Amino acid sequence: MSTETLIDAKAEVVSPNEYLQGLTGRTILVTGAGGYLGTALLSSLHSIRCHIVALVHEQNCAPVPAYCEASLISRTVDLSQSSVWRNLLHDTRPDVIVHLAAHEHRRNSRHAPELDLAVNTAAVLELLEACRELNLSPRIVLASSANIVGCPTSTLVNEDTPDQPLTLYAINKLAAERYLRYYAETFNLPAVSLRFANIYGPLPTGESDLESRVVLNSIMRRALEGGPLYLYRNQHCVRDFVYIDDAVRAICAAAATETTTPGCKYVVGSGEGHSLREIVNGIARQVESLGRRPVEVLFDADVPLEPIEWREFVADYRRLHSATKWKPLTRLHQGIDSTLRAFSGGQTH
């Protein structure tokens, strides 16, 4: 199977969110609302009349824009602490819960298995149990990761690809997905998980610290600053990158439609595979085409790589398309161009 067999995705730089109207009038609780994906989601939800309950940990939500149609309350919550969900759900009674909060180990960051377990698994279980205890049935969308499949034997990955988690993050996300499926099937909770490929792209709020938390964005910022950029021994590995607007549309599709199967996971990506070498060199060329100075691309053979860094992955998103009609609207070269222009002060969307 090749990516050519996937749904033909119309290439656009502007990604209209056709699923928003299905969320009008709803109470939508969003965890991780101050993070990269949470900020993008809230910016989209601001355009409709809904009630947003934004849960944040350390990062505050972006300021509400003047054009906002939604009402919003923000609460500071530490999801690593047990028993926070029951009171939250009792008070807010959400129609939709989008669970984006996560703890992810990054290169050179502190090894914290207990925190990873508490945030990525236990918090999900406690959410599901609180729904059962309170007899609530909100539509739950859990943000998960394509990295759960590890290093698959086939580059094209779908929901049937065997799971081979290679990191604590992936192990705990897989456990959370399985709790989700158990509660969906046993207690009739309309809950699904979305396995995202690598997300990238600018935020409408232009918050550079948040934008640079994702790898492709940080590479683009480095290129705009003059570089250099680096390639490593995994430079020929193929990856899938999905534009931020398309990721938000996928969340809204899963939250607004009733045609997904409770308990199931859905792969979200662009359906396009590009080698890391191709991507980095392409960014360098596009930066130069914007009138910036040439960016040097260097090869470093000495950097140690973890097993997960050798993964190759292209998202087969057809199951989500079949359930919701979702498909990506922005191809990688367009998304990179749009992001570079946004980061350099040009038009964002």
CA atoms 39, 41, 43, 49: torsion sign: negative
pLDDT along the chain (349 residues), means of 10: 47 69 97 95 95 87 79 91 88 97 72 87 96 97 97 96 95 98 97 98 90 95 95 97 98 96 97 97 95 94 95 97 97 96 71
CA dihedral 220, 309, 269, 51 (to 10 degrees): -80
- Cα atoms in the Cβ-side hemisphere of radius 13 Å centred on 41: 33
List Cβ neighbours of 27 (8 Å cut-off, separation of 6 or more): 50, 51, 53, 92, 93, 94, 95, 96
pLDDT at position 127, please?
Answer: 96
DSSP state at residue 346: S
Contact residues for 105 (Cβ-Cβ < 8 A; gap 6+): 111, 112, 116, 167, 168, 169
| pLDDT on residue 109 | 64
CA separation for the pair 183, 141 (Å, rounded): 13
Where do runs of H (alpha helix) occur along the chain? 36-45, 85-92, 113-117, 123-134, 168-187, 208-211, 215-224, 244-256, 276-289, 318-324, 332-343
Q: What is the pLDDT of residue 347?
A: 44
Beta-sheet pairing, 96-99 with 156-157: unpaired
Q: Where are the domains of the chain?
A: 20-198+244-269+313-330
Contact between 31 and 55 (Cβ < 8 Å): yes
pTM over 0.85: yes
Cα(273)–Cα(284) distance, integer angstroms: 19
Cα–Cα distance between 333 and 13 in angstroms, integer? Answer: 10
| pLDDT of amino acid 57 | 83
- pLDDT score recorded for residue 63: 74
pLDDT of residue 2: 42
159: CB partners within 8 A, 6+ apart: 195, 264, 265, 266, 267, 319
pLDDT tens, position by position, 227-260? 999 999 999 999 999 999 999 999 999 999 999 9
What integer pLDDT is reported at residue 16 of this predicted model?
Answer: 79
User: Tens digit of pLDDT for each residue in 83-98?
Assistant: 789 999 999 999 999 9
What pLDDT, on the 0 to 100 scale, is given for residue 5?
45
What CATH homologous superfamily does 20-198+244-269+313-330 map to? NAD(P)-binding Rossmann-like Domain (3.40.50.720)
Residue 12 is predicted with a pLDDT of: 42
What's the order of all strands across the beta sheet hosting 265-268?
71-76, 51-56, 27-31, 96-99, 139-145, 191-196, 265-268
Question: Pairing state of beta strands 139-145 and 191-196?
Answer: parallel
For residue 16, cis peptide bond before it (omega within 30 degrees of 0): no
Residue 337: name the closest of 268, 271, 289 by CA: 289
Q: Which residues pair with 274 in a beta bridge?
A: 239
